[in-house]
Amino acid sequence: MSALEVAGQVLAVLGSLVLLTAAVGVVRFPDAYTRISAVGTASGAGIVLVVLGALLIAPSTSAALKALGVVVLQLATSAVGSMAIARAARLTRTPMVTTFDELAAQEAPDEGTELTARTGSPSRAP
């Protein structure tokens, strides 16, 4: 096994781990916007690493041209696709979910304010 094949396998595994991280983000993140961010960011890097790893495992001129085409198209369409999905989510008024700040909620009653669970911003209590 040559050093080129080992480097290719390492890149392919790293790319797979990046894509796995994006998949976990899709499951764990609370709203559409953070999910889009996870997938859009990780898919570009993950697929590029996997393709470059495959190129190093089986190098040839035709494979290099195909890999170049895949990388260019992936990087171009990943950003545009993520932007289009985020815009569609915004136009359909998909709500953003923020986390609740428990420390601010503990401090708020002393000041006569309470936090709204949805926005996390203080609002005056009646």
pLDDT tens digits, 77-115: 988 999 999 999 999 998 888 776 677 667 765 555 555
Spell out the residues 6+ positions from residue 20 whose beta carbon is closer than 8 angstroms to its own.
none
Mean pLDDT (whole number) for 18-36: 91
Please give the structure tokens belonging to residue 19.
């894509």
Average pLDDT over residues 63-75: 94
Q: For position 122, what pLDDT does the model report?
A: 54
Q: Is the pTM of this model over 0.85?
A: no
In this predicted structure, the answer to whether residue 47 has a pLDDT above a threshold of 90 is yes
Contact 116, 123 (CB under 8 A): yes
Distance (Å, rounded) from C-alpha 97 to C-alpha 34? 9
CA atoms of 92 and 89, how far apart (whole Å): 5
3-state secondary structure (DSSP) of residue 124: strand
Instruction: Give the mean pLDDT of 18-44.
Output: 90
Backbone angles phi, psi at 96, to 5 degrees: -85, 140
Q: In the Cβ-directed half-sphere of 108, how many Cα atoms lie within 13 Å?
A: 17
Report angle CA 29, 35, 39 to the nearest 5 degrees. 130
